[in-house]
Structure 1
């Protein structure tokens, strides 16, 4: 059983790296399996289809992302406002990284899989909802502890800021410039004021 998990994990790890560079549709199964060092016939032992593989890839990414997000937004040495802003500073750094694997798959694949796979789209949608819920909770904690000024609707604000960052990340990718991400960071600081 351990060998099976290792092989499946190898396919997903290789797929994550290739997808970060080429997108989901840009990675053919033969390329994926050659890079992973897995015999072609083995793929269907682990995944019923390329879509099932894509769902597994996104599910694994969202699980890992959720763990990192939770650690970031519950950091015991920072107040809630600092945790919120630090999360987006980290987003900015990762999206500007020359290592494409550092960048967020949600940003990379949202438009690509939206019409391609309802199942993959659902995984992304649930992941985004969870992220926004964590962000809203952090804003509420900041209000409660007095590090964030009173907000009209923390959930709506978290959603709007997250959407702004998705858009800024796409513009940064298109323009190969940090301008949109810097503007998003400035806007985030202004939208989440200290009291």
Structure 2
């Protein structure tokens, strides 16, 4: 792809992310997306064969960016792995523009909504979630080595933490306070230093 093509495709994905993380995938019509992105319908179909393929690309782009950010966080050699993980999970509680970061998570937003609608999108979400669990697992292993984390079965703990935080994020959407996220942070600290 040339730079202009890549820029236009990226612009559609960025605008689409903002719309979908706020409204959901099915609630955002193609015409709304095209209007918000200020691109003609033909341009959309030049980059994506369908709304479903756009959704799949959106999920893949989200995870690509997310994994780059957490790789940077988890491999900060100035901090112990325990500190890296606590910093990461603390960020789920941060509020930007009045919205908790847990509510900006595409996994939280789309998992239940699209899993029954699109096998391709479900597979993209599952692949991305597995990659996050793997990154958590690697950080926990580093923490076991540096002595800051005292657990066995790092992969099991990584899965448990990710499940716990996704559940707390869903409850945060139902009850708009951060109690469940705060409890997850306390539980995470205890679990990592059991």
How many residues align? The count is: 192
The equivalent residue for 1:184 is 184
Tell me how far apart the structure 2 counterparts of residues 115 and 100 of structure 1 sit (CA, whole Å): 26
CA pair 143-100 structure 1, distance change in 2 beyond 3 A: closer
Tell whether the 8 Å contact from 1:21 to 1:100 is kept in structure 2 after alignment: no
Q: Which runs of 5+ in 1 are unaligned?
A: none
Displacement, 1:113?
1.2
- Partner of residue 88, structure 2: 87
**Under a length normalisation based on structure 2, what TM-score does the superposition of the two structures give?**
0.93
Cα pair 2:141 2:154 within 8 Å, conserved = yes
Look up the SS of the partner of 1:92 in the other structure: coil
Is 1:154 paired with 2:145?
Answer: no
Deviations 1:29-69 (A, max 9, x none): 00000111111232111110111100111111110001001
Contact in 2 for aligned 1:10/1:36 (Cα 8 Å)? yes
Give the Cα separation in 1 of the matches to 2:172 and 2:99: 15
Matches within 5 A, 1:1-195: 1-93=2-94, 98-99=98-99, 103-149=104-150, 151-193=151-193
Deviation for aligned residue 1:97: 5.9
CA distance in 1, matches of 2:114, 2:186: 30
- 1:139-180 deviation line (CA, Å, top 9, x unaligned): 11111111112x221110110111000000000111001110
Contact 2:94–2:100 under 8 Å retained in 1: no
Distance (Å, rounded) in 1 between the aligned partners of 2:85 and 2:97: 20
**Partners of 1:113 and 1:120 within 8 A in 2:** yes
**What runs of 5+ residues in structure 2 fail to find an aligned partner?**
none
Q: TM-score, normalised by structure 1?
A: 0.93
Deviations 1:83-109 (A, max 9, x none): 111110012225x86247872111111
Q: Partners of 1:7 and 1:147 in 2: how far apart?
A: 45
> What is the root-mean-square deviation of aligned Cα atoms in Å?
1.6
Cα contact 1:171–1:180 (8 A) shared by 2: yes
SS at match of 1:71: helix
* 2:92 aligned counterpart, secondary structure: helix
User: Secondary structure of the equivalent of 2:25?
Assistant: coil
Change (3 A) 1:118 1:128: same
